[in-house]
Amino acid sequence: MHDSNTKVVVITGASAGVGRATAVAFARTGARVALLARGIEGLRGAAQEVENAGGKALIIPTDVADPRQVDAAAEQIEQQLGPIDVWINNAMVTVFSKVTDMSAEEYQRVMAVSYLGTVYGTQAALKRMRLRNSGCIIQVGSALAYRGIPLQSAYCGAKFAARGFTDSLRAELLHDKSAIHLTMVHLAAFNTPQFDWARHRLAGQPQPLPPIFQPEVAAGAIVWSTRHKRRELYVGFPAVKIVLGNKFMPRVVDHMASRQAIDGQTDTNRTSTSVRDNLFEPIPEDRGARGRFNDRAKNRSWQLLLSQNRGPVSLVLLAAAAATVTVVRSLCHPGAAKRLND
């Protein structure tokens, strides 16, 4: 029987990376967590971590590019765990390659998972949440939903599309006066296994553009977003910098990306150790939440902390500004110079 005091949370792409870290973060709140991904090895590892953290896990091998699988998973979740409270669309695949070297099949696959997977997950969640007029849908986005960079045209296109889709849906929910909460959590660069199993055509192994954050930082932001009615949340100052830079200085960002983003995404000190990738089939291994960049990854984001506490921060800044004005006025008063001399 469903316990109304616990949340039923669905996470796509839950077998590794940010999705897995998010599953564990929800488990610590006592949530019932449905884990959706293709690879059974990673799902089993994630389920064990969820149970160890105090949650209840349900694993459902699912390819989010197939809408029938996604809807069937949602039906199974509601039957076994109860009504879905939170649905997190996190599943993604990517290809690190120049546009001229990409195949049509690669573009189709990245869009099917990273964009259409978000659409299908959202539709499956809405189908059930609308009956109760409650629930929360989190789209895991990226700074690359605002700014495309070299070597990731397919992924950037998918994230742009997901943002457009989400904006359209948000307006529809507002029109219908729906109580369903919808938000996007846009991430900077994170230390996940994707850089070891993504398809690529680079001289070395793919790597994220620094600074890099641990996936638990994103997980904490996602859990926080289910309790706060933000339209969007940015995680990591680089995400904010990219969005603002592209808005106000797009040509400058064009040139910066052309000079920095190709070499910056290539780890020439590490050659590819395997020709296998997870684009069309999962890697039959449990890689966990973190990638190979532990020595470079940050465990916190001060930008995120300030954003989450923007109310108190604004009050402090206003108080500081008011105190500054008071001091300046007192110094500019005609009698101030005389008092200083005395």
Full-model pTM: 0.89
**Whole-Å CA distances, 335 to 147, 239, 323, 328:** 55, 49, 19, 13
The letter for the amino acid at 97 is: S
The band of 341, judged by pLDDT with boundaries at 50, 70 and 90, is: low
Of 92-96, 171-175, 179-183, 316-320, the least confident: 316-320
Would you place residue 44 in the very low, low, confident or very high pLDDT band (cuts 50, 70, 90)? very high
Write out pLDDT tens, residues 73-83. Answer: 999 999 999 99
Q: Examine the residue annotation and report whether 115 is marked as an active-site residue of this protein.
A: no
Give the phi and the psi of residue 193 in degrees, each rounded to 5: -70, -5
pLDDT score, position 1: 38
Candidate from 283-292, 311-320, 327-336 with smallest mean pLDDT: 311-320
| Structure tokens given for 31 | 């949530």
Average pLDDT estimate for 156-184: 98
Residues 247-272: tens digit of each pLDDT: 999 999 999 999 999 999 999 887 76
pLDDT band, residue 9 (cuts 50/70/90): very high
Rg of the chain over Cα atoms, rounded to whole angstroms, equals 23
**What span, in angstroms and rounded, lies between the C-alpha atoms of 60 and 69?**
10
For residue 333, pLDDT beyond 90: no
| pLDDT averaged over every residue in the chain | 91
pLDDT at 190: 97
Q: Give the pLDDT confidence score for residue 2 in this predicted structure.
A: 46
Catalytic residue among 115, 120, 146, 155: 155
pLDDT of the residue at 330: 63
So where are the chain's domains? Answer: 8-308, 311-342
Would you list the DSSP string of 213-271?
E-HHHHHHHHHHHTTS--SEEEESHHHHHHHHHHHH-HHHHHHHHHHHHHHHTEETTS-
CATH 3.40.50.2300 fits 8-308, yes or no: no
